[in-house]
A and B are shown apart, each in its own frame.
Chain A
Amino acid sequence: MKKILIATYTLILLHSPALAFAQSPTPSSIRDAVAQKVAEEIAQIKKDVKKKAYVGSISTISDGTLTLITLQKASRNVTIAPDATIKLSSGTDGTSADLKTGLYILVMGDSDGSGTLTAKRLLIISKPSADNRQAIFGIVTKITSSAITLAPVKSGSTESTGWTVKLSSTTKYTPKTKFADIDLKDKIIVIGAASTTPNTLTARLIHLVQSK
Chain B
Amino acid sequence: MKKEVLLAIAIGFTLGLVITFGIWTANKSLKKAAAPQATPAPTGSPLPTTAETLSPTPPSSSAISLTITSPEDESLLNKDSVTISGKSAPLAMISIISESREQIVTADASGNFTADIDLEGGYNIISITAFDASGNSASQTITLSYTTAKV
Using a CB–CB cutoff of 8 Å, the interface residues on chain A facing chain B are 2, 5-6, 8-9, 12-13, 15-16, 19-20, 23, 50-55, 70-72, 85, 106, 108-109, 111, 120-121, 123, 125, 128, 131, 133-135, 137, 152-154, 157, 174, 187, 189, 191, 204-205, 207, 209-210
Contacts and interface: CB of A to CB of B under 8 A. Distances in A.
Range for the number of chain B residues in contact with chain A: 35 or more
B79 to A, nearest CB: 12
B20 interface: yes
Contacts of A137: 93, 131, 135, 137
Given A51-B151, A108-B147, 18 more contacts: A2-B2, A2-B6, A8-B13, A15-B20, A50-B72, A85-B149, A125-B123, A131-B97, A131-B125, A131-B127, A133-B102, A135-B95, A137-B93, A137-B135, A153-B133, A153-B134, A174-B103, A191-B102
B6 A55 contact: no
Contacts of A54: 74
Contacts of B5: 2
Contacts of A51: 75-77, 151
Contact of B145 (A16, A23, A55, A111): A55
Contacts of A191: 95, 97, 102, 104
B20 A16 contact: yes
B143 A70 contact: yes
A13 to B, nearest CB: 6
Contact of B151 (A19, A109, A131): A109
B70 interface: no
Contacts of A8: 9, 13
Interface in B15-66: 16-17, 19-20, 23-24, 27, 62
B2, B93, B95, B122 pick with most chain A CB within 10 angstroms: B95
Nearest to A137: B131
Contacts of B122: 106, 123, 125
